[in-house]
Amino acid sequence: MFPKADILFTRRSIREYQKDKPVGDDLVRFIVDAAMCAPSARNKQPWHFLVTRDRQKLDMLAALHPYGKMLKDATMAIMVCGDTKLEERESAIALDGAAATQNLLLAAHAAGLGAVWLGMYPRKERTEAMRKVFEYPQNIIPVSLISIGFPAEEKPRNNNFKPERVHMEKWGETIQ
């Protein structure tokens, strides 16, 4: 309906990548800039972004994440984290990190990259396993790990709209 909103509807989880096409610094900056534009509780912006394009690190992450085998082919991964020194409430770190993650995914898609969100929070064993890759301190809570690369698969747009999940003025009055 609104062409500028296309990326919202066409973003999909992309798990196959062009292995030999690296992501340049300009794109890294663009997508992290977009992530930092996300809303956050009390505007604390408690996030940090751990970026790797190192083949060895990406392979280690692939081995450590139980559902992250696509990282073997990814050319970049970004871990979105929250800092308990900037936001003491863990619930806010999780929510703010999720908002930043979604902005990051949309920016990656807008830039012609493919990406998929890999769950981190609240899995403490994943946090501990990946600490040896990035060496983050104890005040850092990983929220998501995003596998990124230029896409080597195409997927149709989502069509998830369910009118019965929309309640107009009162519960059960669905949208026309």
Ligand X SMILES: Cc1cc2nc3c(=O)[nH]c(=O)nc-3n(C[C@H](O)[C@H](O)[C@H](O)COP(=O)(O)O)c2cc1C
**Residues interacting with ligand X, by CB under 6 A?**
12-13, 15, 67, 116-119, 158
d(CA 142, CA 127): 6
| In the complex, minimum distance from the CB of residue 8 to ligand X, in angstroms, rounded to a whole number | 11
- AA letter at 139: N
How many other C-beta atoms lie within 10 A of the C-beta of residue 129? 16
| In the complex, minimum distance from the CB of residue 7 to ligand X, in angstroms, rounded to a whole number | 13
* 42 vs 155, beta carbon nearer ligand X: 155
Structural contact between residues 96 and 103, judged by C-beta atoms closer than 8 angstroms: no
| In the complex, minimum distance from the CB of residue 144 to ligand X, in angstroms, rounded to a whole number | 7
Q: Find residue 115's DSSP bridge partners.
A: 13, 148
Closest alpha carbon to 13 in 161, 154, 159: 154
* 29 vs 69, beta carbon nearer ligand X: 69
* 24 vs 39, beta carbon nearer ligand X: 39
Which of helix, strand or coil describes residue 109?
helix
* 125 vs 169, beta carbon nearer ligand X: 125
| In the complex, minimum distance from the CB of residue 20 to ligand X, in angstroms, rounded to a whole number | 22
Q: Find residue 140's DSSP bridge partners.
A: 83
